[in-house]
Structure 1
Amino acid sequence: MKLAILSRNGSLYSTRRLVEAARVRGHTVRVLDPLRCYLRIAPGGFAMRYKGKPVAGYDAVIPRIGTSVTRYATAVLRQFELMGVYSPNPSDAILRARDKLRAHQLLAAQGIGLPTTVFGDNPDDTDDLLSLLGPPPHVIKLNEGTQGAGVMLTEKPAASRAAVEALRGLYANFLVQEFVAEAGGADLRCFVVGDRVVAAMRRQAPDGEFRSNLHRGGQASPAQADAQEQAVAVGSARALGLGVAGVDLVQSSRGPLVLEVNSTPGLEGIELACRVDVAGAVIEYVAGNISC
């Protein structure tokens, strides 16, 4: 298999591990910076060049696309798709996952549990909007934030209203969600590859923090997702069209709830916590779909 990995930085842990896993399995692999790819678009003539040379002959491409380059990088990925190259995470699936509002709508339509979420635009509707959610605490999230950035917890109605009004004043897109107190500041990251969870880790927020992201000081430990959690994680990835995903769940009184579905999940935290070759599982999944 001739494989391309779309990544801005080939030295990042996740990119390096995918390269290593591909090469140890006998595949040819190259890291391509998506911002250095440029495209020719014409009827019957999709083409791409990279640093002055044609990009051709690839069997598969694995996207490692950061949020800051989503628009351009997904256009590059779409060009690969139009050139007949397979990707475990298609461009439209990545765009669905990056838009939290759209993702929540699609998950809810499939009956997948998630924290109750409200969304509105007009300041005149703020009080009624928050009443649809119920009393605080409330979690307010930027629609395209990552790694816990752009997420805040408000504990009083006045604080929720003030945060909503401030974000509207900045023309930010955001959601307001119920706070799942019984989760105790912990969540479960399930790494989905195809139709199975290949690894799972429990993340615990530090004292005084409600976000469990490792980038926010959360502590990771290996975990075993139960049958229900696995079904919810795999179903969530499938609902968005992702073959590889990190699905974050919290336990509630009504079962596991999906916080987020990440289309570019990091490998470092989960591989080090679980001692599982997640990169190898991704490469084998991609190779298996090529050979089908």
Structure 2
Amino acid sequence: MKLAILSRNTKLYSTRRLVEAARSRGHTVRILDPLRCYMRITSSGFGMHYKGKALTGIDVVIPRIGASITRYGTAVLRQFEMMGARTPNPSDAILRARDKLRAHQLLAAKGIDMPVTVFGDNPDDTDDLLSMLGPPPHVVKLSEGTQGRGVILTEKLSASKGTVEALRGLYANFLVQEFIAEAQGADLRCLVVGDQVVATMRRQAQEGDFRSNLHAGGVAERVQCSKAEQQVAIRSAKALGLGIAGVDLIRSKRGPLVLEVNSTPGLEGIEGVSGDDIAGRMIEYVTSLKR
């Protein structure tokens, strides 16, 4: 089978592992920089070129599209879809996951629980907006932040108001959430492939921080998540239309809560702590997809 991986960096751990896993299973695989892909769109058909040559005959496309190129990267992926290629994460599903506000609305509509979230635009409504959320601490998140960046903890109401006003002044898109104190700076990353959670790690924030992301200095260990947590993770990925996803949960007094659904989950941390061939599981899944 002929596979393509959309990735801007051939040296990234996740990209390398997917290539290794695909080739070890007898597949042909090529890494394509999505920004070097360019398209011809007509009513009679779709075409794609890469560095001066036509791209044809690709069976499956695995998107590893960074947040900074979401718009163009998903357009390239959509073109491949129009040309008949299969993908575990369609372009529209990635767009749903990348917009935190939209993702939260879609998850809530499916009855999936998460920290209480508020969102508003007009500065005149800030006081009432925060009253809808409840007393601080509050967590302020940029709508398209990644890897723990763009996440702020405010412990006083005045700090919440000041942060909201500052972000509005920068024309940033953000949302505000309740802070789940009982999580104690820890979350679960559940790696969903198809209808299964294939690995889970618990990430713990370093002392003095509340962000458990490994890029923010958190540490990870392998854990076994409960059946309820597995079901929430799988339902969350399905709600957004993702076949492969990293679903971040926190354990609260009212059960597992979804923090985020990542359409391009990294493999280095979770393969390192689990010792499992997760890249292989992903390749086996994507090559089983039907048109």
Q: TM-score, normalised by structure 1?
A: 0.99
Indicate yes or no: 2:230 matched with 1:234: no
| CA RMSD, Structure 1 to Structure 2 (Å) | 0.6
SS in 1 for 2:287: helix
Per-residue CA shift, 1:116-137, capped at 9, x if unaligned? 0000000000000000000000
Q: What is the match of residue 250 of structure 2?
A: 250
Q: What is the match of residue 192 of structure 1?
A: 192
Q: What is the match of residue 56 of structure 1?
A: 56
Q: What is the match of residue 222 of structure 1?
A: 222
Given residue 204 of structure 2, which amino acid in structure 1 is its aligned partner? Q
Counterpart Cα distance in 1 of 2:56 and 2:76: 13
Q: How does 1:199-214 map to 2 (within 5 A)?
A: 199-214=199-214
Q: What is the match of residue 155 of structure 1?
A: 155
Measured after TM superposition, the shift of residue 280 of structure 1 is: 0.4
SS in 2 for 1:111: coil
Counterpart Cα distance in 1 of 2:104 and 2:130: 18
Q: What is the match of residue 263 of structure 1?
A: 263
Count of residue pairs the alignment pairs up: 291
SS in 1 for 2:259: strand
Q: What is the match of residue 30 of structure 1?
A: 30
Per-residue CA shift, 1:221-249, capped at 9, x if unaligned? 00111100000000000000000000000
Per-residue CA shift, 1:15-72, capped at 9, x if unaligned? 0000000000000000000000000000021000000000000100000000000000
SS in 1 for 2:147: coil
Given residue 275 of structure 1, which amino acid in structure 2 is its aligned partner? G
Indicate yes or no: 2:271 matched with 1:278: no
SS in 1 for 2:220: strand
Per-residue CA shift, 1:154-197, capped at 9, x if unaligned? 00000000000000000000000000000010000000000000
Q: What is the match of residue 18 of structure 1?
A: 18
Q: What is the match of residue 180 of structure 1?
A: 180
Q: What is the match of residue 110 of structure 1?
A: 110
Indicate yes or no: 2:81 matched with 1:81: yes
Measured after TM superposition, the shift of residue 289 of structure 1 is: 1.2
Q: TM-score, normalised by structure 2?
A: 0.99
Counterpart Cα distance in 2 of 1:211 and 1:111: 26
Counterpart Cα distance in 1 of 2:145 and 2:174: 9
SS in 2 for 1:250: strand
Measured after TM superposition, the shift of residue 205 of structure 1 is: 0.3
Q: What is the match of residue 98 of structure 1?
A: 98
Per-residue CA shift, 1:68-100, capped at 9, x if unaligned? 000001000000000000000000000000000
Counterpart Cα distance in 2 of 1:286 and 1:72: 23
Given residue 271 of structure 2, which amino acid in structure 1 is its aligned partner? E
Identity of aligned residues (%): 75
Q: What is the match of residue 124 of structure 1?
A: 124
Counterpart Cα distance in 2 of 1:114 and 1:281: 28
Q: What is the match of residue 42 of structure 1?
A: 42
Counterpart Cα distance in 1 of 2:113 and 2:63: 28
SS in 2 for 1:35: helix
Counterpart Cα distance in 1 of 2:5 and 2:226: 32
Given residue 147 of structure 1, which amino acid in structure 2 is its aligned partner? Q
Counterpart Cα distance in 2 of 1:276 and 1:27: 20
Given residue 38 of structure 1, which amino acid in structure 2 is its aligned partner? Y
Given residue 154 of structure 1, which amino acid in structure 2 is its aligned partner? T
Counterpart Cα distance in 1 of 2:278 and 2:65: 18
Given residue 37 of structure 1, which amino acid in structure 2 is its aligned partner? C
Counterpart Cα distance in 2 of 1:87 and 1:59: 9
Gap regions ≥5 residues in structure 1: none
